[in-house]
Amino acid sequence: MEEIVCVFPSIRMEPQTTRSWDFMGFDEKVSRNATTESDIIVGVMDTGIWPEAEGFKDEGFGPPPKKWKGVCEGGKNFTCNKKIVGARCYLTDSARDFRGHGTHCASIVAGSPVKDVSFYGLANGTARGGVPAARIAAYKVYDLDFGCSSDGILAAFDDAIVDEVDLISISLNEFFRSEPHFYIDPVAFGAFHAMKKGILTSQSAGTIFNSYKVGPVSSVAPWVFTVAASTTDRQIIDSNVLANGKKLVGHSTNTFTLNGTNFPLIYGKDASRTNCSQMLARRPKCGLYMNSTRVPQATILQSEVIKDVAAPLVSITSATGPNLVVPDIIKPDISAPGVEILAAYSTFATASEYPEDNRHVKYNILSGTSVSCPHVAGAAAYVKSFHPDWSPAAIKSSLMTTAWPMNDTLPANDTSSTFSGAINPGLVYETSEDDHIKLLCTVYDEGKVRLITGENITCPKDPAKWSPRDHNYPSMGAKVDPTKPFTVQFHRTVKNVGLANSTYRAKIFSNSKLDIKVVPEVLSFKSLNEQMDFDVTVGGSDLQDRSQVSIKGTNVIQYS
């Protein structure tokens, strides 16, 4: 049929705040453009939404933005309001969230502040979204009974574009694919068309535990904002006390108390629903004890919250790369809080998602790139509230280039060096649709590029003259042979979004033995939105010696 663009097999995809926003330096006193923020609509593609959650009440909200063209088709007993302005469902007849995942993510992006919430006393505080004045449009693309399908995701993207959402947050990834490709990835497909309409898509990088991957990131499209998960300075720990008095401390959210009663120890590999290996189960502290007594026993204490001075660190369950489709485009793009995050939850779902659990909560603690993704979507919405006319690439660039490492010398609550920088980045890297098409032509043949773009494009006759490393991306990456000397070059174009008359000087922050040169070292702008080019040359050898490529700081090169 002429209406068919392409046919590919449906794939299985899986879903992947009381402290997190404050930890990032985004406290409740941060400067806001409230009127514009109220006009922002965030499309959340997930397991649906629980409209009765307190953070989704609409007191104080005006009518939905005039641009909104969506509908409220949430099913029986589902009501939208001035906060949840729209709802759609696919493969099922209800947009209600019976799992809790979608509610959790939506509240991280745009939930209204709710004071004194916790998970059975743990992580107590005020739960709030990054843009609490913004509106939410829920697109239920995952269901407990029917799972998640490619056609549902593509339909949701089509609807979100027509509905005129401003940003999309999707915490879903392919369940397993050894070699991901843009032309069979429904999120890459949908996000490309959203990008053409000025809509930025934030997607979780993938959680290793969920997808059974060793490290490669499943969200690799350069037009998608790919988010890894990292820790905050609030850590939840749990202790096991052996009968001989030794205490073993680990990471677990446990609300129960055994009142000091001891129980027999077993190997983790013998317990149901566990991936614990025999090697891990027989760790020295526990295995030296099991051999010393005929009846080894222990008790479990309730979890407690401690301060983690080493935060933030990328979670061991977060996909961290490489990019298997375009190695020269670094993925993930950015990291955000994604470990032990408290946010709103569906009261239908059980607290642990296991049917045997009879606990039902309004707020729950989840971890993974699923919950780091809406943090970035909220941050992007915040930037857009100050710059409604900025492109998805400009918003993405502003967040990537102003991110800084947080430690004891740079307090997390120092807002002058975090989100205020994102709304005033000075320079941004614009990436157009044509730029993405040029990159696609270096990866695929012309037919596949046409499938992805939906346009009758013609690829350059000699794509070898252009390299993906010249893609006007906010980060710079190159795949090289680690055993041989190398020299790589990057070409970039930056646009002035700061003061009309402004001068930027390149600084190189590096303690490595790599030779890095920037030409020109100084960029002088005379007008707003003026663009200028620069080139970066990086040389080195023997990258097998990791000490030679250690980099101090987040930005190796910065114009300031």
Residue 337 preceded by cis peptide, ω within 30 = no
CA dist 410 to 24, 371, 416, 420, Å?
Answer: 11, 24, 11, 15
Q: How far, in Å, CA of 293 to CA of 262, rounded?
A: 14
DSSP secondary structure string, 57-81?
A: --TT--SPPTT----B---TT----
End-to-end C-alpha distance for the chain, whole angstroms: 54
> What is the Cα–Cα distance from 206 to 140, expressed in whole angstroms?
19
In three-state secondary structure terms, 168 is strand
From CA 299, how far away is CA 527, in angstroms rounded?
A: 68
Residue 543's contacts (CB-CB under 8 Å, 6 or more residues apart) are 480, 482, 549
Catalytic residue among 20, 112, 335, 370: 370
Is 360 among the catalytic positions?
Answer: no
Q: How far is CA 162 from CA 8, 415, 482, in A?
A: 24, 36, 47
H or E element: which one contains 531?
Answer: strand 531-540
Q: What does the alpha-carbon distance between residue 480 and residue 322 come to, in Å, rounded to a whole number?
A: 13
Q: Tabulate helix, strand, coil % of the chain (nearest 5).
A: 25, 25, 50
Cα–Cα distance measured from residue 532 to residue 354, given in angstroms and rounded to the nearest whole number: 56
| Number of Cβ within a 10 Å radius of residue 318 | 29
CB 320 within 8 Å of CB 262: no
For helices 392-402 and 369-386, angle between their N-to-C axes, nearest 10 degrees = 110
Tokens of 483: 């055993």
211 part of the active site: no
- Among residues 253, 259, 271, the alpha carbon closest in space to that of 351 is found at 253
Q: Are strands 224-230 and 297-300 parallel, antiparallel or unpaired?
A: unpaired
- With residue 441 as reference, give the H or E element that holds it: helix 433-443
Q: C-alpha angle 370/371/374, rounded to 5°?
A: 100
- Annotate 457-514 with DSSP letters as a single string: ----S-GGGS-GGGS--SS------TTS-EEEEEEEEEEE-S-SSEEEEEEE---SS-
Q: Is 292 a catalytic residue?
A: no
Task: List the catalytic residues.
Answer: 46, 101, 370
